[in-house]
Amino acid sequence: MKPIALLTTIPSDSHNWNLFFIQLFLQENGFEVINLGPSVPYDLLTEACISHQPDMLIVSTINGHGYIEGKELIKRVKELDSMQEKPVFIGGKLSTDVNMSYLYAVELESAGYTRAYCNDQDLQDFGQRLQHIKEQAMVARQA
């Protein structure tokens, strides 16, 4: 059985090609992906976390509101017992300004994300982390 990645975005973000791209990237890296699609309300996301029990959560957001709504999202997700120890990543276009993007990424990691990505080159680092999470999930299933 493959590890499960729950893929979401923030409530205001209606872009979806980024979601398709990340879905394919996760699938190529050996994950079963549940893609909640664009404009996901917080309550729908927390319900999906409870019902699917994912091995990790990925937030892809590019509309520029990720640094605001991403903070509310992680607060709500980390209130769930089942998600407290699970890795949660956020990435995409946090801003059109490179320096602001890095500042927002730091703020989002302080808010509780395992890692916040804001540069297309970060996919290499993300891919390496996926391998680690996949191995951990397989070990946990065998235990």
Binding stretches for ligand B12 (CB under 6 A): 12-18, 21-22, 58, 60, 62-64, 89, 91-93, 95-96, 117, 120, 122-123, 126
- Phi and psi, residue 84, nearest 5°: -60, -35
Query: Least Å distance between CB 45 and ligand B12?
Result: 15
Q: Minimum CB separation from ligand B12 for residue 58, in Å?
A: 5
Identity of the residue, 42 or 126, whose beta carbon is nearer to ligand B12 in the bound complex? 126
Question: Between vectors from CA 138 to CA 134 and to CA 143, what angle results, nearest 5°?
Answer: 150
Nearer to ligand B12, 96 or 142 (CB): 96
Smallest separation, CB 61 to ligand B12 (Å): 7
Beta bridge partner(s), residue 89: 58, 115
39 CB-near residues (< 8 Å, 6+ apart): 9, 11, 12, 13, 14
Instruction: Choose among 45, 34, 35: nearest CA to 11.
Output: 45
**Which residue's CB is nearer to ligand B12, number 70 or number 92?**
92
Nearer to ligand B12, 21 or 141 (CB): 21
Task: Compute the distance between CA of residue 75 and CA of residue 86 in angstroms, rounded to an integer.
Answer: 13
- Chain position whose Cβ is nearest to ligand B12: 91
**Residue 68 Cβ, how far from ligand B12 at the closest point, in Å?**
11
